[in-house]
Amino acid sequence: MNQSKTNLKETIAKRVAKEMNDGDVINLGIGIPTLVPNYLREGIKVILQSENGFTGLGPLQKEIDPELVNAGGQPTGIIPGAAFFDSNFSFQLIRGGHIDVTVLGALEVDTYGNLASWMIPGKMIAGMGGAMDLVTGAKKVIIAMEHCTKSGASKIVDLCQLPLTGKGVVDLIVTELAVFRVSEEGLILEDLQEGVELGMVIEKTEATFKVGSKFAPQ
């Protein structure tokens, strides 16, 4: 399966977009998650919240406002009805359980839904940001990430070895290869990306997982 980095990220974002429902209040992390709005179903209405202080993120306009940026510092647009507020209110929304879905990247996710996304010991970091609050406060946590590290190691592991962002917080994992649901029984393979065979997923996934009913022999 040969994909450019851009196509790989688009594949992940497209699949994540299918998980969104009409009326959802959604928080998107930096990187791949910011691509998700490009692939939302036609006619679906969602509210995108940015932890740096507003709801109503929208597509970039012809004239870019340098003072209007998302939580990752990237230029963004707004839609009619958008609202601006301070960081304190923004985190009250998050911690108060008013975010339906958060989509974040990850360094590791394990069989138990534990998430490590904020640091690699020994490397400089900017800080955890709002990830800890988001994975605790959001009703659904979706991880959008590449299946393996640059060195080829699986990022879906039996047990996270890196410092945790949250314990047992992940609901769904979407990579360029597959979609896994986190259940009380562990990881369940829910879907394969187009052109991907089950054997490839087994080969590239460290964690033990069960195969969903979709793949049961007919």
Instruction: Kindly state the helix (H) or strand (E) to which residue 91 belongs, with its residue range.
Output: helix 87-95
Asked if residue 50 lies in contact with residue 27, where contact means CB atoms within 8 angstroms, the answer is yes
**Angstrom distances, CA of residue 152 to CA of 45, 79, 115, 179:** 38, 40, 19, 19
Rounded to whole angstroms, how far apart are CA atoms 170 and 213? 21
Question: What order do you get walking across the sheet with 77-84 strand by strand?
Answer: 77-84, 54-58, 47-50, 25-28, 101-104, 140-144, 172-174, 178-183, 186-192, 209-211
Rounded to whole angstroms, how far apart are CA atoms 201 and 176? 10
What single letter denotes the amino acid at residue 42? Answer: E
- Residue 152: how many CB atoms within 10 A of its CB? 8
190 is catalytic: no
**What three-state secondary structure class fits 2?**
coil
Which of 10, 19, 42, 51 is catalytic? The answer is: 51
| Residues with catalytic function | 51
